Structure 1
């Protein structure tokens, strides 16, 4: 009964539609539809991967962060290379602050830092770049470039910024690296600091007082980097299980920093007009330096480092104070000179009128003026005689 009813309904539907589909087509279409449905359903393997995805997501994020730096660096290098000829990129390497291609040089350096695979490599690159900054400053001072003071000021600012970065990089290495790696990088930073301070001593005296203060600020930062590196070396040396730092390494570093402080003290004493507080700082610095050698002989390395740190800080503070006093004195002298020039100019401009009152040649053609003095010194008679042509 049910089958008959189904057959009747079906015949009515087909008659209503006027359609009588081919059975083979129906089977083919049905198989196609089923296949499409199957393809859209997630498989068991896909579902398993989806469930495991949260586990791998953090790893994926770390990988992308690792690759992002090299990708950006590669893009930067490509931009530089594709944006200019090989000659222009080569010229950028020899550029100095103020040159058109100097920004290309800095971008290339940042790209190299981004491509560095380890913290240690980044520190060594940045140390190399700080030596570049010193060389750029020397070039500005020693060559007849335009806007010398402006360029030198910019070079000093960039150098200090690079030294700040180097200090932070050293701290990053100390946090998560082995004693051997820390020792290696600390030696690099320590050597770099002493080299920068000494090189700037040879350069800064050729600059104006204002720019010189910026160079001294860069020296202070370099010296601070060296002290931080020395402290890191002493920490590694104290580890009995690590032989990366020897007694000789510590002794050499202490001697180098003592020399830097001693030179700074001597240079500060040579400045004219140092105040009482400045002289006291230099004397205190010298006292600390005198104590270092005995502390090293007694193997009191931590105390020796403390004395070197104290001597370095006081010597550079005294130097900065002396430089500021020298700048103030220079400005005062300049103001006084300008005031004297203005006074002399004012006096000179008034002088012709006074001379004309006492006796001069008249501006009229053919006229002469003579002065006849009377018997009284306070009185005189002026007679003007005009000669007709």
Structure 2
């Protein structure tokens, strides 16, 4: 097969061994109480260290940033210490790992944020969105999200500073860099997408204003740790968590141009990946490539062949494989040799312990 996926690539000051990315996937195994990364998470990521780049699961930057039960944070000393276990285990296996910094904004419930009212760009409730809370039954109890309050300028400044501190914490924890989660309907996305933002100040209205919060966060974390260690995840065409933009091509090509000006090291596009979802328009990918000169990552319904073709066409530099990494810890080896892929067990994706996390075996040729 093509060796396109197995060419090394420079990412800032890093040299990655292949073009295969393990994208961030929530697994909800953090130690309670405290939402701390732990030994089984360290084992899980180390098992997958043959990826060119691992982006660890969404990690809340503050207690208010948490959307779901049992997800890890990166704002306390104990959380930083927990993540050190993970980064040391991955580095011991020769891997590279970024932290995904996450604030969910309105996609939460007071039970997950110490009884507080969620915050967002605007006082608009995400419709038909549920999150899970710890109902004491060792199984997630799903509840509707609630009406958020619109962030004041003081709130915005405070959250920008929380992102800055979280980036510093990630480097202290041993991560090679950070990815800002600006996709899938979470807080930064709630500023970007037009139907989640009805502000009338400098953070609402036209595209430039709706991208302002993203720009401020990127600037803050880049000043803290260096733009060469900052990536951004975007999702132009998804409607996850009730967030949609009226003109995604215009908005996200503008976002790519902005991120080019800010010199982030990569943009990571999450494509819609349900079975009958429309393809991301090739014209959009070409416009993004023209607007942004850094490393482009796409993740969606790729297999080895389509991933290689996308890179060879010049539309991407790396490709993320999400769910296949859940059940195939040795995914790059399987891709390289054409070994069959194991299917994951959906029931063990969220919560629990080792089962469905670290007990998937590597492929053994008979």
TM-score category (smaller protein)? under 0.3
Task: Choose between structure 1 and 2: higher strand proportion.
Answer: 2
TM-score relative to the length of structure 2: 0.28
Q: Which of the two has greater helix per residue? A: 1
Structure with larger RCO (C-alpha < 8 A, sep 6+): 2
TM-score (norm 1): 0.27
